A and B are shown apart, each in its own frame.
Chain A
């Protein structure tokens, strides 16, 4: 009961959209991709990834399995968690989410079914938790910076550089910094919490930003749009995989991966308890991790697939670990504490 209450509190906190429009029941998108041939089965996927982004991957799966129809439903990560954590069966066979902490909590609380990978060697150990949670992308979280704000200065390479830049040229950044509002965004909260965990520089940066009247966002899209429109100079903690295609034609916008540490988010999949077709879900996970699936992810969806070698080549990339530590920041009291600290740093009068 208490747990349910806590979960409700969490959902309320995570799901509040900037304008207060709570999507109670409806999904952001809910589409059916019919089978190419005679339908042999239907796989219902609940995902936080936009349909447009993921469509090539779905197409690739259907090419390999022409008898399978796909229902692809997009919703927010908190809604996804709430749906799957509820006692009633949600009617989905596969859950794909970028909210690693919530996925981890689902798996830890026994709400995910086990799946034996077809090619276990293809997935590094850090990219899965038990046989229940599987990462299939590794997406660096970076900083978007308008080149105009730099003038003739060299672009910052680390958070220390950024702090120095903001300190030396506050006029270029005042009211022109965008970042996630961790109170409203699950991803923003996860990034901020992991930043705080990985280095103390984060709090110095937060203090520095707080003095420059930052604008808070609940989603990457708005932040990037405002940056592109010239209203922002800096967007802190944006998913590179999401931002890169949107600023590809804008040479005046830099995507910086801080050298001190660049968080790397793992997009994960799990088979929820109560899945009607866990066999199809297993096939989909195996497809995501197959070479065909990796190619579709990289080239079709623009999402970098899990690659231990690539991670080793970029030592500043810190993959967020799939371990019980993720549960810590989901603790309501812990969250309260962190939000309080964050607010004190960032919301300066």
Chain B
């Protein structure tokens, strides 16, 4: 059942690069990462690609397949017509290192800027009691495998390098939402900081991030919109506004 398929793979480095056409064998049930590996083993020994688990669990093999941000290990070759050329390019929002590998350090810098989990100071190991229904909201966001496809597709930074400084991106909005909804987190002003320090306001909820999420996390509906609504409430509630000015307190809620 093996057949030959046509791939067009971007090859190059930070300075220069081009699309190269190759023909490669594909077998029943194979995913795009399988055929990339076959190209690597038989035709391009130094073709650079990141991958780890090949089971959709680690989020390493993020790339753009026919222009769509996807995990190569979860993309069936059979999704494409037999005579179709599958074009494979590196993530567009991040600088290329080589071929399909990009420099994703932006995301690690942003992770460092989100204030960490802050449990009650006197919480003893084993003493926490939480209901399943209360942990599930944050658990949804903790499913994130950090593939950064949401970051790649987000139009705030995809073609706007200048926005990167002030915009953390969807991955970190769900991180903030996760901590905000975490039953044991004591830091009270996370939503406001998302707005003021992490660029939540720049998101205009086009839901592109939700569409590409391989974990099907409802990034926009369950994290971004609820945080935006609460921030708006706080900002435009005159009593609260006055209270915050008078007492100069930082915390909300």
A binds B: no
**B-binding residues in A (CB < 8 A):** none
